[in-house]
Structure 1
Amino acid sequence: MPLDAEQIEQAVETVEHDDHSFKRIFKQPKAAWAVAFACVVAFMGLGLVDPILPAIGKQLHATPAQVNLLFTSYMLVTGVMMLITGWLSSRIGPKRTLLLGLIIIVIFSALGGFSSTVGQLVGYRAGWGLGNALFISTALAVIVSVASGGTASAIILYEAALGLGMSVGPLLGGWLGAISWRGPFFGVAILMAIGFIGILVLLSDVEKPKQKSSILDPIKALGHRGLLSMGIMALLYNFGFFTLLAYSPYVLGLDEHGIGYVFFFWGVCLAITSIFVAPKLEVRFGTKKSMYVVLFLIALTLAVMGLGVHSQALLIACIIIIGAFLGINNTLVTTAVMEVSPVERSVASSAYSFVRFAGGSVAPWLAGKLAEWYNPETPFYVGAVAVILGMIVLFSGRHHMKEIS
């Protein structure tokens, strides 16, 4: 069942004041661990292909812009599907929605491993995005409903799964990709099949929401100026985020193992700051002020990457450092979205995710094209400008975000 903003706020307060919450995370029923394992693998999917992007382009004779359509198709379908996941889950139930998402990921990730052209791979990644949207949008509510120790422990478990998936994904992609670029796709299919079996066997039926949601609810929610501003800001922020994720592997000059290790440490920094640093900054300085500063630092780091695009050491350092900023911003934005909108959490999240993913889906492809049209540093400069514009959008909509500190 979806969490509302009040539950999220209470959970965060409990985490901040209860030192035993982190101990209780290890005392969970098997059903909670089954969902958490599947979450780890699902979150791996975002960064798993990073280390193999250059290899895919080389072996399938494709340009960076063409290969980056792997991200574009994935994000576009994920964003659009966010509009219907709540509608579907309220009708077939959370468990069936999870299982449907998992089996779709298994099928399309395996098909991706058998691809012979970039076009096929892009299409299969779109199918992967469909399954991922169904799974991720439902997983948090399911973990909360089955985990022990209350909502706070469940959220810690979910955040831990997210952080582990984001950090291990590139590392696993590098290891398997060094054998063959097809390896990561088959690896995800196998791991997700294990997750499917675990949830099927260990998770009991989860109660359906008492009220069925409408497909139009997320669209109507965007009529709230504060939520719309947050969505547009996140769309522009995604230009910076996916310029880093989808384009930087091409200019690093490293093999699959090297790229995997760089983004592993990137993911570790992201996970640590999202869980431990962001809540402290929010309490001390407020959500909006913290977001302004972090967005500026993200833009500054991207600009530095553009200036130092031919320095491998500088690029590696910037990628790892920016991971810390991204982790903080991701948590702050999630908190802000939960607080700013008067609609229930699931609807607000769907509306926001639709704007940021569907709208930002052009960013990976555009980064590759900008490098073709101009020079290697241009994508980083454009990403930096987009993040600054996102900061301006956030500032312009501040009067409609009085609920945010």
Structure 2
Amino acid sequence: MSAHAPASASPWRQPAQVWAVAFACVVAFMGIGLVDPILPAIAGSLQATPVQTELLFTSYLVVTGLAMLVTSWISSRIGAKATLLTGLALIVVFALLCALSGSVDAIIGFRAGWGLGNALFISTALATIVGAAAGGSGAAIVLYEAALGLGIAIGPLLGGLLGEVSWRGPFFGVVVLMAIAFVAVAVLLRGPFERRVPVPFSAPFKALRIPALAVLAVVALFYNIGFFVLLAFSPFPLGFSAMGIGLTFFGWGVALAITSVWVAPWLLRFWRRTTVMLVVLPLLAIDLVVAGILVASQLALVVCIIVGGLLLGIMNTVLTESVMESTDLPRSVASSSYSAVRFLGGAAAPPIAAALWHAFGPTVPYVFAGASVIVATAALAIGRRALSRVDEHESDAEEIGAAVLVGDAA
């Protein structure tokens, strides 16, 4: 998306405060996949069932989603820097508590606190970078996207490396990196880069009454089931070590980053947003069903995971960008409402997938995920008339960057 940035603006010549937030973004996005490689190890070491282990994602996503409803209200009152620091501090504390825990139930609870910190941080990070960056919003978005891609790709790899030592390793890794990020933001982030415009507490709740936003929230709810079955359930049937799972999802993260940053904007030059989604969603459903059919083959499952990453990257960007354009509401309000609903799908998917695996075998969870994505496709097709505004508005660089932020920070 560098095409959106002014030709003379270099995204790499930024003040120290921008680099501080960008580094924190890298670490935050690493946290998305950091836990993935150690799920089987946690289940074995703490004598937890797969369903219990998958609740590590559920508690995190439920709290993240619910907190998204109030983050815009909080940040509009205490300011961006205070919101960022509060989020980072919560992640440090709860990641440390996870690392020191002796039971899976304790980790599930502490992951909920981690989700609160993550919601505060990711809801504020892009606005902070755009407000403080030199060279305009286009250069800021390129820098942000680089941090995003780096974090999503490295997270599973680092999780695999540290997970080979102990399942506690990735949690301690997050503590150290987030503590460094906290100090960097506290020391370096300064200056008049933000405008506080108070947001009513009720705004995200009222936003869901708008038909276009409601349609997209339903689509996201069922789409996210497919996303998190692929991400959170796949480590179990893969049967790899922590390092093997980390390498697999490193490939997934690279694929997702490439398509979210470059392929999605390229497709939108030729197709409307709803058209892109109506093409990609059925392809994702097919990929999930094929993964279920070929689940006994490790190579085939790895290929399906990486192909899924390619499709998920496109969907994340286009779907969340559509949310940004669906109403006249501030973007923070629209994305908060939408994120709260879609995270419910992500929260429900991992334990349901594990329960289906236990009852019917490893194929059924992927078929369930594929069926959920088909429901998302049907909801989009039925509600397409309410989305005419989404297809008419052409985004600028900041809007596309905001879509990548909220879409890939899930």
Q: One fold, TM greater than 0.5?
A: yes
Query: Which of 389, 399, 403 is 1:403 aligned to?
Result: 389
In 2 relative to 1, CA 175–50 (structure 1 residues): closer, same or farther, beyond 3 Å? same
Structure 1: segments with no counterpart, 5+ residues: 1-11
Query: Which of 128, 135, 139 is 2:121 aligned to?
Result: 135
> What letter matches 2:143 in structure 1?
L
**Residue 33 (str. 1) matches residue 19 (str. 2):** yes
**Residue 183 (str. 1) matches residue 169 (str. 2):** yes
Query: Which of 165, 180, 201 is 1:194 aligned to?
Result: 180
Distance 1:238 1:273 in 2: 17
Query: Which of 82, 86, 109 is 1:96 aligned to?
Result: 82
Determine if contact 2:32/2:152 at 8 Å carries over to the other structure: yes
Partner of 1:323: 309
User: Which runs of 4 or more aligned residues in structure 1 lie more than 2 Å from their structure 2 counterparts after TM superposition?
Assistant: 15-21, 205-211
> What letter matches 1:34 in structure 2?
A
TM-score (norm 2): 0.93
1:207 CA displacement: 5.4
Partner of 1:5: none
Determine if contact 1:89/1:208 at 8 Å carries over to the other structure: no
> What letter matches 2:356 in structure 1?
L
Local SS of the residue matching 2:39: helix
What are the superposed Cα offsets for residues 347-374 of structure 1, whole Å, 9 maximum, x if unpaired? 0010111110134311111111111121
Local SS of the residue matching 1:291: helix
Query: Which of 31, 38, 41 is 1:55 aligned to?
Result: 41
In 2 relative to 1, CA 208–276 (structure 1 residues): closer, same or farther, beyond 3 Å? closer
Determine if contact 1:68/1:246 at 8 Å carries over to the other structure: yes
1:20 CA displacement: 3.8
Query: Which of 373, 377, 382 is 2:363 aligned to?
Result: 377
Distance 1:160 1:197 in 2: 22
Determine if contact 1:94/1:207 at 8 Å carries over to the other structure: no
Distance 2:207 2:13 in 1: 38
What are the superposed Cα offsets for residues 216-267 of structure 1, whole Å, 9 maximum, x if unpaired? 1001011111111111111101110000111000001110111000100110
Partner of 2:223: 237
In 2 relative to 1, CA 343–18 (structure 1 residues): closer, same or farther, beyond 3 Å? closer
Of 213-222 and 188-197, the range deviating more from structure 2: 213-222
Query: Which of 256, 273, 285 is 1:299 aligned to?
Result: 285
Determine if contact 1:109/1:128 at 8 Å carries over to the other structure: yes
Pairing 1:1-40 to 2, within 5 Å after superposition = 15-16=2-3, 18=5, 20=7, 24-40=10-26
Partner of 1:267: 253
Distance 1:168 1:35 in 2: 18
What are the superposed Cα offsets for residues 329-351 of structure 1, whole Å, 9 maximum, x if unpaired? 11101211111122111100101
Distance 1:215 1:363 in 2: 29
Structure 2: segments with no counterpart, 5+ residues: 392-410
Distance 1:282 1:274 in 2: 12
> What letter matches 2:368 in structure 1?
V
Of 160-169 and 76-85, the range deviating more from structure 2: 160-169
Partner of 1:285: 271
Distance 1:193 1:176 in 2: 18
**Residue 358 (str. 1) matches residue 344 (str. 2):** yes
Query: Which of 95, 108, 130 is 1:122 aligned to?
Result: 108
> What letter matches 2:79 in structure 1?
G
Determine if contact 2:36/2:159 at 8 Å carries over to the other structure: yes
1:189 CA displacement: 0.6
Partner of 2:91: 105
> What letter matches 2:159 in structure 1?
G
Local SS of the residue matching 1:24: coil
**Residue 170 (str. 1) matches residue 170 (str. 2):** no
Distance 1:97 1:285 in 2: 37
TM-score (norm 1): 0.94
Local SS of the residue matching 2:94: helix
**Residue 221 (str. 1) matches residue 222 (str. 2):** no
1:211 CA displacement: 2.6
What are the superposed Cα offsets for residues 111-144 of structure 1, whole Å, 9 maximum, x if unpaired? 1001110000001110100000000000010000
> What letter matches 2:44 in structure 1?
K
Local SS of the residue matching 1:341: coil
Distance 1:363 1:137 in 2: 23
What are the superposed Cα offsets for residues 366-389 of structure 1, whole Å, 9 maximum, x if unpaired? 111111121111100000000010
Determine if contact 1:76/1:359 at 8 Å carries over to the other structure: no
Distance 2:254 2:194 in 1: 35
1:206 CA displacement: 5.0
> What letter matches 2:41 in structure 1?
A
Query: Which of 334, 339, 342 is 2:320 aligned to?
Result: 334
Partner of 2:379: 393
Distance 2:19 2:197 in 1: 28
Determine if contact 1:142/1:206 at 8 Å carries over to the other structure: no
Local SS of the residue matching 1:342: coil
1:16 CA displacement: 2.8
Partner of 1:84: 70
Distance 2:221 2:194 in 1: 31
The percentage of counterpart residues that share the same residue type is 53
1:87 CA displacement: 0.8
Distance 1:374 1:49 in 2: 26
